[in-house]
A and B are shown apart, each in its own frame.
Chain A
């Protein structure tokens, strides 16, 4: 049975968005006003700004853009790049697509999990790093590939992990 619960995250404090964030999100939507099919771009920009796309944020987008919430949620959950859970300040994605996997990206992925002591989709307790697996980032020539936010690292080996993550300490 589905639980009759609200959408207030883990604690008892609902995720109310601040006035400032509401205005910023409205500005983003406004800048795409005349553009047809702007939803995905809006979602990208809002996620870049807010970090993730929780219920309250999607509801605001739904109201401002006149798109049904179910449709927005459908898009957000279809693309792995979007997340409805909070992410770390630095989002690590390790490509587990075919080429990277063959070149041993699973080892890299496991090493990061071990080092940060988090599982897929989780955030470190200090909120710094979050980890997820990507399915091909379109840089197979550099396999195995990992990303930290917008930075791309190619031909990664397990030995390089400490150095790479060290840059974001």
Chain B
């Protein structure tokens, strides 16, 4: 790329000619306030915070969308620029519900931070405010447009990155609102509950449906035996909520905190993941060896992907594994096996899942996710909600000692842990499937070609004389080509892993929210992924089929993978879903 020379505040810098003014300024170490700008997602020059002055160009320009050119002379700090930025920010604030103390994003709000940085003292423009209704009908997500600043970061995320396209700017002028339209809830639309819009939102306009109160209530109920399980991705990011460096593995502290909160049993969803590998892996082998079902098999542990499949690719549903997702399997086992063995009344057993995901709330709520009259899981909370609970309980998380998951379920394998990153489910599955196919132990269990941030990763694995081909799709926005092939019977793969969030569950919609500016400097995926692979290498056992609790489970209860009991408790089915349901609710 050719370089150009530009002058920024009197300093000459050389930058590639496809840079924007903002990018050039950042590289020159000059801080320019931004709000609607989100790297790689949203660059539309809407908020007018990043205004700069360019010699010989009339008026101030939005630096995030202005390309550099040779000889450009840029000014970023003078009275006119500062005033313009302030006025624009005050105008945004004038139609913003400024109830900061009770806002979910208080202290983690980019608007609040910017108001502080620009020294906003009072807002001159008090006038009419939009007061749109809060949409909290979805089991996963809440939209409060009184907080919305119309930056459109969520719209770009939904439309351009995830390609779900559920929300859009509606109406015009003062009445402009982000939503699905027709005064409808996101719940009645093609929203897949991935929650990436929450990760994109700079303010408190989007957040998860909070279920903490149900957890507190259950914990206070003497009649209930409350068990908790935590997904692999939670431990890689929970520490961020307490100011710990990104990528700190806090497994031990998390277990201690959960025990302090009063859970009777603290268990690991990773064991549920190990169980999933045996169920799904066996189903896969059966399809490969005996032709009992459609190939390629497609993973079904991501509930956002499952909803997308039901509404956008219903003709591909037969390819989905019938295995329930790990936390549902775990919930089912806690209730139907563990509770009975421990002499706990099944009706008193209560299972809480801590997940990096908001779609898990929707999944848990699906009517079919139950067995023998008991819900698989009773309440699902996010990583963020767990952090809120720990804070509310006055637990000093950083200073906690480490402790281990409760016996007899105990520690899971490293294979269960890596479920949390893109490619992890495939890697865990192949560690087991290849050994089962060949009948002997494999030395090399790390599949590095399945790791990393690439959106599409192809791989093949040799099992005896058989070559198994697979592909990993990271991000629901990247599924189209691969699924079109499946749809037309032209797929060259045997195994497809799909995760709706780019990077997998560690980047899920329920994880701690990272500020847009931090995202420019830090690769969040790399940090959290490193933590999850460390969890794997530090594990005593790294193959799902070696998990002692899972082995015991088959011996004493389930008989064998895909047995009759397994099917009753651990498997399910999916059917076509209307993208925009319009059934009359009044009748």
Contact = CB atoms under 8 A, between A and B. Distances in A.
A142 interface: no
A6 B584 contact: yes
Interface residues of A, number: 23
Contacts of A7: 182, 184, 582
A53 to B, nearest CB: 11
Given A1-B133, A6-B586, A74 B580 contact: no
Interface in B142-196: 159, 165-172, 180-185, 189-190
A56 B134 CA distance: 24
A14 B165 contact: no
A4 B583 CA distance: 12
Given A2-B136, A8-B586, A70-B189, A84 B580 contact: no
B137 A2 contact: yes
Contacts of B136: 1-2
Contact of B181 (A3, A12, A14, A69): A69
Given A1-B133, A2-B136, A4-B185, A59 B165 contact: no
A46 to B, nearest CB: 16
Contacts of A69: 180-181, 189-190, 579-580
Contacts of A68: 159, 165-166, 168, 190
Interface string A97-139: 0000000000000000000000000000000000000000000
B587 interface: yes
A74 B585 contact: no
Nearest to B583: A6
A70 B167 contact: yes
A5 interface: yes
B189 A59 contact: no
A77 interface: yes
Contact of B584 (A4, A14, A74, A78): A14
B133 A12 contact: no
A12 B586 CA distance: 6
Interface string A143-160: 000000000000000000
A70 B133 contact: no
Contact of A70 (B134, B166, B171, B585): B166
B135 interface: yes
Interface in A72-109: 73-74, 77-78, 84
A73 B582 contact: no
Nearest to B171: A77
Q: Among A56, A77, A84, find the residue whose CB has the most chain B CB atoms closer than 10 A.
A: A77
Contacts of B171: 77-78
Contacts of B582: 6-7, 14, 55-56, 59
B133 A2 contact: yes
Given A70-B165, A70-B180, A78 B580 contact: no
Contacts of B183: 2-3, 5
Interface string A29-65: 0000000000000000000000000011001001000
A95 B545 CA distance: 74
A20 interface: no
Interface string B8-49: 000000000000000000000000000000000000000000
Most buried by A among B133, B137, B182: B182
A71 interface: yes
Interface string B390-418: 00000000000000000000000000000
Nearest to B181: A73
B166 A77 contact: no
B586 to A, nearest CB: 5
Contact of A73 (B182, B185, B586): B182
A74 B152 CA distance: 13
A85 to B, nearest CB: 11
Given A7-B184, A62-B580, A70-B166, 8 more contacts: A1-B136, A2-B185, A8-B586, A59-B580, A68-B166, A70-B167, A70-B189, A74-B170
Interface of A: 1-8, 12, 14, 55-56, 59, 62, 68-71, 73-74, 77-78, 84
Closest 9 CB pairs of A and B: A73-B181, A68-B165, A70-B168, A74-B168, A6-B585, A2-B135, A14-B584, A2-B133, A77-B171
15 contacts: A3-B133, A5-B183, A5-B586, A6-B585, A7-B184, A14-B584, A55-B582, A59-B582, A62-B580, A69-B190, A71-B165, A73-B180, A73-B181, A77-B172, A84-B182
